[in-house]
Amino acid sequence: MRLVVAKCQVDYVGRLTAHLPMATRLILVKADGSVSVHADDRAYKPLNWMSPPCTLQVEAPDPDAAASMGVTEVWQVRAKDGDTLRISVADVFHDSAHELGVDPGLQKDGVEAHLQALLADHPATLGDGLSLVQREYLTPIGPVDLLLRDDRGSYVAVEVKRRGEIDGVEQLTRYLELMNRDPHLAPVRGIFAGQQIKPQARILASDRGIEWRLIDYDALRGLDNADERLF
């Protein structure tokens, strides 16, 4: 990954046009060829970007731009469809490259991993008649946390989250789309399970025909002793 902090002007030309006037920004050039321009706010979202596949070519600036704005070089980032991200670079304050290597991917935290293991041991928590087929059932886009079967013999894909949000529902939706193309599995229904599930995630899940289940982690671990409760 290359990180460049520089004063720059950014122009996107293509199906849409956008202009960012000269200011100090962070430019990221990733190993996949993507180029993105960031300000010191907006969290992770870039001001503008070009997704791969694209090519980066550095050119000399127009003499007028060099004279009036101090532009020293122009980055032309072109996509296959002809869209172009043009970055006019002036003062460069930082320029470094770093080899990050292969990312191992997002790992579940201890609570989430333990929750998955407990549900695998007690699948009936998610519904009557459910039994475990496999943990971490592999699909072409990643593993489904739990693959269960109901008492009618139909498969059920379960995504387990500590905090259930919209992106988790989207993830399960993609798994279900692929699994339902397999005649050996279809029809497959989905269950989105979590200790907490945000209202937006509940609405999206229901809209897509996915069931959602709130899981009491302590009760599942056997810490909820009915003899010690007042009610």
pLDDT band at 105 (very low <50, low <70, confident <90, very high): low
Cα 10 from Cα 88, distance rounded (Å)? 6
Average pLDDT over residues 96-114: 72
User: How much is the mean pLDDT over the chain?
Assistant: 89
Judged by average pLDDT, the poorest of 1-5, 45-49, 189-193, 226-230 is 226-230
CB burial readout 208-217, b (16+ within 10 A) else e: eebebbebeb
Q: Are 61 and 74 in contact (CB under 8 A)?
A: yes
- pLDDT at residue 104, as a whole number: 62
Cα distance between the two ends of the chain: 57
pLDDT band at 58 (very low <50, low <70, confident <90, very high): very high
Report whether pLDDT(144) > 50: yes
- pLDDT at residue 16, as a whole number: 81
Task: Give the long-range contacts of residues 21-25, CB within 8 A, separation 24 or more.
Answer: 22/69, 22/88, 22/90, 24/93
Taking the complete model, does pTM exceed 0.85, yes or no? no
The full length of the chain comes to 231
DSSP letter at 152? T
pLDDT band at 140 (very low <50, low <70, confident <90, very high): confident
* Residue 109 vs residues 103, 106, 112, 162, 163: alpha-carbon distances, Å: 17, 9, 5, 9, 11
Report whether pLDDT(42) > 60: yes
Q: Each residue of 194-225: pLDDT tens digit?
A: 999 999 999 999 999 999 999 888 787 774 44
pLDDT band at 228 (very low <50, low <70, confident <90, very high): very low
